[in-house]
């Protein structure tokens, strides 16, 4: 990488976290955060108190590490904050729930600027506010690398959670939200460019269809997952958990113009970005019939009752490297040739 | 530092996380974890579902970073896991609640051994089981440094949370659990020694008096905090949040034999370790009268109705470096001369 393609805000700067000190930073952060009737005790005590009107909570945690999940020279603090919050809140939505509160653990070098940290907090807070959630607590630690762990709490409002394991033969596989945009944006940034801006923005700040998680649950979705590691990989999680085979029809996917244009310029197959690119946080759900699909979902395949044979499944689960094969998803009738999605290791 | 004082288990080794892959590691971890009737959906879906019988939850998150909060050559994976879980569960206890579930986000280098990771998980799980909690979910990320963020969820069983802000003039300041042991153990390890073992063990694996948090809440504790950064510093949090002055009498503190012996050998004041050492996760609470103290708590001071003057307080809050002064705690009638506790920045 040469120079960053545009100004993203300095991570290092004065006054720094070290200049202001832990409690000074925490006080400044607290003043920027919004409050919520669902958070009885917010930041500043040993723990937060979050209302759980449903009598259960949905809870999920995700870590984003500098140079692994984001780059501070490719996105400013505000967008990194938006993305960190989105990553966890999309998981809540994929259970059919609505986010109520976030806990944010930030590790950062001592010379990280206070301004950068405040903009990060603003991004997290604004993304949370999209679903009515607020930051209820957190932790601030010294480390050599910037790293963010966001825990999201959500409420099911009396609905049953939509799990990965509920897909049944005959179900329709449906998609809500964008695929491939973030991956194409990453490809653009990786080559030192900053346009098409629509793709770069999609990488920097995903727009998960939060509302459609609860909508799908109400419409009777039998299984659901958010696409964080790639459509085929995440649909594979549903297929394996449900012990079914998922069929995907590629002619059901729109390859939008900017993705097609960039793929042509880079000599890449745009469909690979669409099928395996992560981090747009689309929702994939299965429904009992095409009539059940709520607005916002598009049918892209179906669930087959042909299980993997026992022998095949055993091999699948016990494969020498511990990796599960993507055999439970067929693309236009055949196994996908490449990696079905992103693996962290 | 020369050689580590004893074998602590190799962090790097084969098979590694990279050899086995993300999903292989997660599958192996899931098989080791215990289940709980309070966790309706555990690891393996987009999010966990945790029962909240009280209609509210207590939630807190803490990060431990290698070389900042622990050293992999000073503690084995199992003890690091115990300590990471204890750090968050002690916060839940300090609200008067009981832990029900943990979410664990682990970041680690790709060559981290699977065995080390499994022992870490065992430590987290065993510590959680002490209070009846289980690991309900988590995240595994690649990073250059080992870092662990543990989010703890707890239940208040209908009690009011015990906040920092409730201390009132005339209250008794009381302590449950050990102080200074972890700090003395750290001093021992820092000098390349591994005994007295009681101190080193206290550093590696704190023993927070979890049960006494809810016990204090039932007994009417007016304020409570867990000692993670040092007794004077954490009592200062109560004093400032409650806008009172806390008085501490040093003759009420036992300096136990191993701490006294090591302090003498190193030419250190053992009382400094007791008053400012962190990470034993003792509980400090205030009670309306000495008669309210439940078994396990010892009176070590009292709350005064003499507020800091407005002028003084303003200066306190607006001090140039953003740090709040420790003026709200008086030790034997005078402000403490040194740092009242650990600051992360």
Domain-embedded: residue A3: no
- Three-state SS at A342: coil
Candidates B128, B124, B127; CA nearest to B148 is B124
Residues of A with Cβ-Cβ distance to B94 under 8 angstroms? 46-47
3 state SS of B335: strand
Q: Does one domain contain both A294 and A173?
A: yes
Same-domain check for residues B127 and B178: no
What's the average model confidence in pLDDT over A98-119?
97
The alpha carbon torsion through B110, B115, B117, B119 (nearest 10 deg) reads -170
List all residues 6 or more positions away from B265 whose beta carbon is below 8 Å from its beta carbon.
none
Same domain, A59 and A183: no
The verdict on B231 and B262 lying in the same domain is: yes
The terminus-to-terminus CA distance of chain A in angstroms comes to 23
User: To the nearest whole number, what is the mean pLDDT of chain A?
Assistant: 91
Q: What is the CATH number of the domain that holds A212?
A: 3.90.650.10
- Give the helix/strand (H/E) hosting A149: strand A147-155
B52 and chain A: CB distance < 8 Å anywhere? yes
Total-model pTM: 0.93
The answer for residues whose C-beta is within 8 angstroms of residue B206's C-beta and 6 or more apart is: B82, B83, B86, B87, B90, B182, B279, B280, B281
Average pLDDT over residues A237-260: 95
B9 domain-assigned: no
Q: Check A145 against B149: CB less than 8 A apart.
A: no
Min Cα separation A264/chain B (Å): 32
Which chain B residue has the Cα nearest residue A103? B61
Contact predicate A285/A176, CB 8 Å: yes
User: In what order do the strands lie in the sheet containing B245-248?
Assistant: B223-226, B283-287, B172-176, B298-304, B245-248, B329-331, B334-335
Nearest chain B residue to A237 by CA distance is B45
In a domain, A1, yes or no: no
Greatest distance between any 2 Cα atoms in chain B: 62
Owning domain of residue A28: 17-155
The residue from B97, B127, B155 where one domain ends is B155
CB contact under 8 A, B95 and A141: no
pLDDT in tens, A295-327: 999 999 999 976 555 445 444 443 433 333 434
Provide the terminal-to-terminal Cα distance of chain B, rounded to the nearest Å: 23
B57 contacts chain A (CB < 8 A)? yes
Residues A52 and A140 in one domain: yes
Residue B163 backbone dihedrals phi, psi, to 5 degrees: -95, 175
Give the gyration radius of chain B's Cα atoms.
Answer: 21
Quick one: CA torsion of A297, A299, A305, A310, rounded to 10 degrees? -80
pLDDT given for residue B36 in this prediction: 95
Q: Which residues in chain A have their CB less than 8 angstroms from residue B344's CB?
A: 22, 140-142
pLDDT value of residue A308: 53
Please tell me the total number of residues recorded for chain A in this structure: 345
Reduce the DSSP state of residue B258 to 3 states and report it: helix
Q: Are residues B305 and B219 in the same domain?
A: yes
Q: What pLDDT is stored for residue A316 in this prediction?
A: 46
- Residue A88 pLDDT more than 60? yes
The alpha carbon of residue A58 is apart from the nearest alpha carbon of chain B, in Å, by: 5
Nearest to A143 among B46, B65, B151 (CB): B65
DSSP collapsed to 3 states, A246-312:
EEECHHHCCCCHHHHHHHHHHCCCHHHHHHHCCCCCCEEEEECCHHHCCCCCEEEEEEECCCCCHHH
Establish if B139 belongs to a structural domain.
Answer: yes
Judged by CB atoms closer than 8 Å, whether chains meet at A60 and B46 is answered as yes
Residue A200 lies in a domain: yes
Dist CA A114 CA A179 (whole Å)? 35
Cβ contacts of A164 on chain B, cutoff 8 Å: 44-46
Q: Which of A136, A155, A174 marks a domain boundary?
A: A155
The reported pLDDT for the residue numbered A329 is: 95
Contacts with B69 from chain A: Cβ below 8 Å: 141
Residues B85 and B231 in one domain: no
Domain CATH code at residue B124: 3.30.1330.10
DSSP bridge partners of B50: A57, B39
A32 in contact with B, Cβ within 8 Å = no
Would you call B51 and A55 a contact, using CB atoms and an 8 Å cutoff? yes
Question: Is B63 close to A107, i.e. CB distance below 8 A?
Answer: yes
Residues with Cβ within 8 Å of B151's Cβ and at least 6 positions away in sequence, in order, are A59, A61, A103, A151, B59, B60, B61, B88, B102, B103, B104, B105
Residue A323: predicted pLDDT: 34
**Do the domain assignments include residue A111?**
yes
Q: Are A188 and A308 part of one and the same domain?
A: yes
Asked if the C-beta of A26 comes within 8 angstroms of chain B's C-beta atoms, the answer is: no
Same domain, B32 and B132: yes
- Using the Cβ of A318 and the Cβ atoms of chain B, whether some distance falls under 8 Å is answered with no
Asked if the C-beta of B107 comes within 8 angstroms of chain A's C-beta atoms, the answer is yes
Domain presence at residue A189: yes
Q: What is the pLDDT of residues A18-38, one digit of tens each?
A: 999 988 898 899 999 999 999
Output the six-digit token pair for B101. Answer: 């579930």
The pLDDT of residue B306 is 64
pLDDT at A305: 78
Same domain, B248 and B296: yes
What's the pLDDT score for residue B10? Answer: 82
A/B interface, count of CB pairs below 8 Å: 260
Regarding whether A325 and A196 lie in a shared domain, the answer is: yes
Helix (H, G, I), strand (E, B) or coil at B144: coil
Strand partners, A104: A138, A150
Asked if A91 lies within 8 A of B144 by C-beta distance, the reply is no
A17 to chain B: closest CA residue? B345
Predicted ipTM of the assembly? 0.92
Per-residue pLDDT tens digits of chain B, which is 345 residues long? 333 444 466 899 999 999 999 888 988 999 999 999 999 999 999 999 999 999 999 999 999 999 999 999 899 999 999 999 999 999 999 999 999 999 999 999 999 999 999 999 999 999 999 999 999 999 999 999 999 999 999 999 999 999 999 999 999 999 999 999 999 999 999 999 999 999 999 999 999 999 999 999 999 999 999 999 899 999 999 999 999 999 999 999 989 999 999 999 999 999 999 999 989 999 999 999 999 999 999 999 999 976 555 445 444 443 433 333 434 899 999 998 888 887 777
- Rounded Cα gap, residues B10 and B109, in angstroms: 13
Q: Between B20, B104, B149, which is nearest A321 by CB? A: B20
Residues A178 and A320 occupy one common structural domain: yes
Chain B residues within 8 A of A17 when measuring between CB atoms: 345
Using the 3D structure, point to which of B118, B133, B155 is the last residue of a domain. B155
Residue B281: inside a domain, yes or no? yes
B322 touches A at CB < 8 Å = yes
Q: How many domains does chain A have?
A: 2
Q: Do A24 and B57 touch (CB under 8 A)?
A: no
């Amino acid at each position: 990488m040469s120079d960053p393609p545009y100004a993203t805000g300095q991570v290092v700067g004065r006054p720094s976290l070290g200049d202001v000190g832990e409690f000074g930073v925490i006080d400044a952060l607290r003043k920027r955060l919004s409050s919520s009737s669902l958070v009885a005790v917010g930041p500043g005590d040993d723990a937060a108190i979050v209302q759980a009107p449903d009598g259960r909570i949905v809870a999920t945690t995700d870590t984003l590490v500098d140079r692994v999940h984001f780059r501070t020279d490719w996105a400013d603090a505000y967008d990194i904050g938006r993305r960190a919050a989105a990553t966890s809140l999309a998981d809540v939505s994929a259970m059919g729930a609505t986010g109520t509160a976030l806990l944010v653990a930030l590790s950062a070098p001592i010379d990280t600027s206070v301004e950068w940290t405040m903009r990060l907090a603003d991004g997290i807070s604004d993304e949370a506010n999209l679903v009515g959630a607020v930051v209820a607590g957190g932790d601030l630690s010294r480390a050599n690398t910037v790293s963010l762990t966001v825990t999201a709490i959500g409420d099911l409002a009396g609905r049953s959670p939509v799990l990965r394991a509920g897909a049944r033969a005959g179900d329709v596989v449906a998609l809500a939200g964008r695929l491939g945009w973030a991956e194409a944006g990453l490809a653009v940034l990786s080559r030192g460019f900053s346009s098409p801006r629509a793709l770069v923005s999609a990488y920097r700040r995903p727009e998960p269809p939060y509302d459609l998680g609860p909508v799908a649950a109400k419409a009777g979705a039998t299984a659901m997952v958010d696409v964080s590691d790639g459509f085929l990989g995440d649909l594979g999680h549903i297929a394996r958990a449900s012990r079914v085979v998922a069929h995907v029809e590629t002619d059901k996917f729109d390859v939008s113009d900017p993705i097609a244009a960039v793929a042509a310029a880079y000599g890449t197959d745009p469909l690979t970005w669409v099928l395996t690119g992560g981090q747009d946080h689309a929702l994939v759900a299965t429904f009992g019939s095409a009539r059940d699909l709520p607005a916002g979902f598009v049918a892209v395949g179906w669930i087959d009752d042909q299980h993997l044979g026992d022998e095949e499944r055993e091999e699948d689960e016990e494969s020498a490297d511990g990796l599960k094969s993507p055999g439970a998803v067929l693309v236009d009738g055949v196994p996908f040739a490449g990696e079905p999605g992103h693996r962290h290791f």
